[in-house]
Amino acid sequence: MNVRVRFAPSPTGFLHIGGLRTALYNYLFARHHGGTFVLRIEDTDQSRYVEGAEQDIIDSLEWTGMEIDEGPGKGGDFGPYRQSERKATYHEYAKQLVDQGQAYYAFDTVEEINEMRERLKKSGNPSPKYDSITRQSMKNSLTLSQDEVEKRMANGDEYVVRLKVPRKETVRFEDEIRGTVSFDTSGLDDQVLLKSDGMPTYHLANVVDDHTMKISHVIRGEEWLSSTPKHILLYKAFGWEPPVMAHLPLIMSPSGGKLSKRKAESEGIPVNTKDYIAGNYEPDALVNFLAYLGWSPGDDSEIHDMEELCELFTLDRVSKGGAVFNHKKLMWYNENYIRDHTVEELEPRVKELLDAEGYEIPSEEYLSKVIELLHERVSKIDEFASMGDFFFATPESYNEKALKKWKTNSAELVQAYKEKISELSGEEFEAAMLKDQLKEVIDAYDVGFGKLMMPLRIAVSGQGFGPDLFPAMELIGKEEVIGRLNTALEKLG
């Protein structure tokens, strides 16, 4: 089979992290089978259209390393890839269904439909529908005379096209992830196919496009599962073979429920892909993490790059239950990937971050050494700039928590140490020597290592943690280090 899959987001906002995972699974599936990955923009709801959303989607996919084979701006043999540009096609197919007697025109206003629902509710129907029963008492081409229908259309009256959903029928389909799923049509409305503004609904557009774009597998979120019978009915009405269906488990918030913007962000989880870009996350870490959120290759492996994931990914290994987003695990992945990158790879990116902070970088070698010293310690690349700020600027204040380690005898010890290293020549001012000097001081004062180490760290870096201090001091240089010790002695006594 020629595998063709699509990622079909609607441009109603920035790309959600859940959407990104859906895209990823589609992409992995496509690449695994040597197939085609299509991006289709589902912009049929003009009232929710957000300017720039489409570009955000494209940028996000590019950032994670997913290559679009066909899509807006990219082209392909099945375009256009924006649904708003395919209106004529939908009208054609909607008309076909009406002509075949499987759909009909309906002229009811929103108010009239609400009225109908109210009325039915009052008479004891808990979930009123526009269905095979109620459509008989509504204003549509099934109840109105042909004359009347034609008159209304000619008159430019607003209308929708509705699917004639059979009264009592079981719709069954195979889901690649869930197995056989069945619904009874008695729970379905006569679905609107064409809206009164001339745009198709998702249901029509998605079926028509998936068929005309020769999509072989529909891989989408579980929120679509209940709509699938409508789609199956449509394929049947058109006489088309439906694509293989696969409904992905949803990504959940740690407190339960959908990973909504408000909820997630209050729990420290960015929801939009652009926040991960702006937040300087490693794209390969995000990809690896997301791939494992609802899928696993079945062995004990955890780390795989995009290429390996493409090779490993299969739908039968996708899990059924919702997956809670675990930010700490993401950070673990992020650390892994940072450690995996070489200093050379990191350098230009770190430089950019330092530039943005306005730091002056003495030399390329200097920067390389800083990165080396911090490489195993940072969780996110921007920490090279925050944790390593003291390599580029004299600390202006001291971390409050760290200050607790500045005890009454700290000044005395630091003073003694300063005097010792002041006598070193520039050449002697290197890590091993600096460490020896420290030993001599603590021996002389008969105190433990930490007694001098912590105050020294605070004085030099302003922080209570950070890279190996001796090579750091060597890098910063004698003059600056002694200056910082003097400042600390003044400020902290």
Q: Which of 156, 179, 239, 268 binds RNA (CB under 7 A)?
A: 179
String marking each residue 265-304 x if it binds RNA according to CB under 7 A: ---------------------------xxxxx-x-x-x--
Q: Is 15 in the site for RNA (CB under 7 A)?
A: no
The single residue among 50, 324, 356, 444 that binds RNA, judged by CB under 7 A, is 324
Task: Restricting to residues 199-218, name those near RNA by CB under 7 A.
Answer: 199, 201-202
Question: Does residue 470 touch RNA according to CB under 7 A?
Answer: yes
Shortest distance in whole angstroms from residue 428 CB to RNA: 19
Q: Does 410 bind RNA (CB under 7 A)?
A: no
**Binding of RNA at residue 398 (CB under 7 A)?**
no
Give the nearer residue to RNA in terms of CB position, either 352 or 440: 440
Q: Which of 132, 280, 326, 368 binds RNA (CB under 7 A)?
A: 326
Number of residues that bind RNA (CB under 7 A): 83
258 neighbors 60 (Cβ within 8 angstroms) = no
Cβ proximity to RNA, 8 vs 358, nearer residue: 8
Per annotation, catalytic residue among 261, 263, 380, 405: 261
Contact residue for RNA among 121, 320, 401, 407 (CB under 7 A): 320
Which 68-87 positions form the footprint of RNA (CB under 7 A)?
none
Contacting RNA (CB under 7 A), which of 148, 197, 345, 419? 197
By CB under 7 A, tell whether 89 contacts RNA.
Answer: no
Q: With binding defined as CB under 7 A, does residue 113 bind RNA?
A: yes
Site map (CB under 7 A) of RNA, residues 156-175, x = contact:
--x-x---------------
Q: Applying CB under 7 A, does 447 fall inside the site for RNA?
A: no
User: Of the candidates 169, 176, 222, 265, which one interacts with RNA according to CB under 7 A?
Assistant: 222
Minimum Å gap between C-beta 65 and RNA is: 21
Residue 178 touches RNA, criterion: CB under 7 A: yes
With beta carbons less than 8 A apart as the criterion, state whether 374 and 383 touch: yes
Task: Tell the smallest beta-carbon distance from residue 82 to RNA (Å).
Answer: 11
In whole angstroms, what is the distance from residue 475 CA to residue 358 CA?
20
Residue 150: both structure tokens together: 């034609």
Closest distance of CB 22 from RNA, Å: 11
Where in 352-391 is the site for RNA (CB under 7 A)?
A: 376-377
CB of 441 to RNA, least distance (A): 10
Three-state secondary structure of the chain = CCCEEEECCCCCCCCEHHHHHHHHHHHHHHHHCCCEEEECECCCCHHHCCCCHHHHHHHHHHHHCCCCCEECCCECCCCCCEHHHCHHHHHHHHHHHHHCCCEEEECCCHHHHHHHHHHHHHCCCCCCCCCCCHHHHCCECCCCCHHHHHHHHHCCCCCEEEECCCCCCEEEEEECCCEEEEEEHHHCCCCEEECCCCCECHHHHHHHHHHHCCCCEEEEEHHHHHHHHHHHHHHHHHCCCCCEEEEECCEECCCCCECCHHHHHHCCCCCEHHHHHHCCCCHHHHHHHHHCCCECCCCCCCCCCHHHHHHHCCHHHECCCCEECCHHHHHHHHHHHHHHCCHHHHHHHHHHHHHHHCCCCCCHHHHHHHHHHHCCCCCCCCHHHHCCHHHCCCCCCCCHHHHCCCCCCHHHHHHHHHHHHHCCCCCCCCHHHHHHHHHHHHHHHCCCHHHHHHHHHHHHHCCCCCCCHHHHHHHHCHHHHHHHHHHHHHHHC
Among residues 63, 235, 238, 332, the one that binds RNA under rule CB under 7 A:
332
Using CB under 7 A, which residues numbered 243 to 262 contact RNA? 249-250, 252, 254, 256-258
| Stretch 118-137 residues interacting with RNA (CB under 7 A) | 126-127, 129-130
Among 148, 223, 352, 355, binds RNA (CB under 7 A): 223
Q: Nearer to RNA by C-beta: 53 or 367? A: 53
The question of whether 261 is a catalytic residue gets the answer yes
Report the alpha-carbon distance of residue 355 to residue 398 in Å, rounded.
Answer: 23
> Which residues are designated catalytic?
261
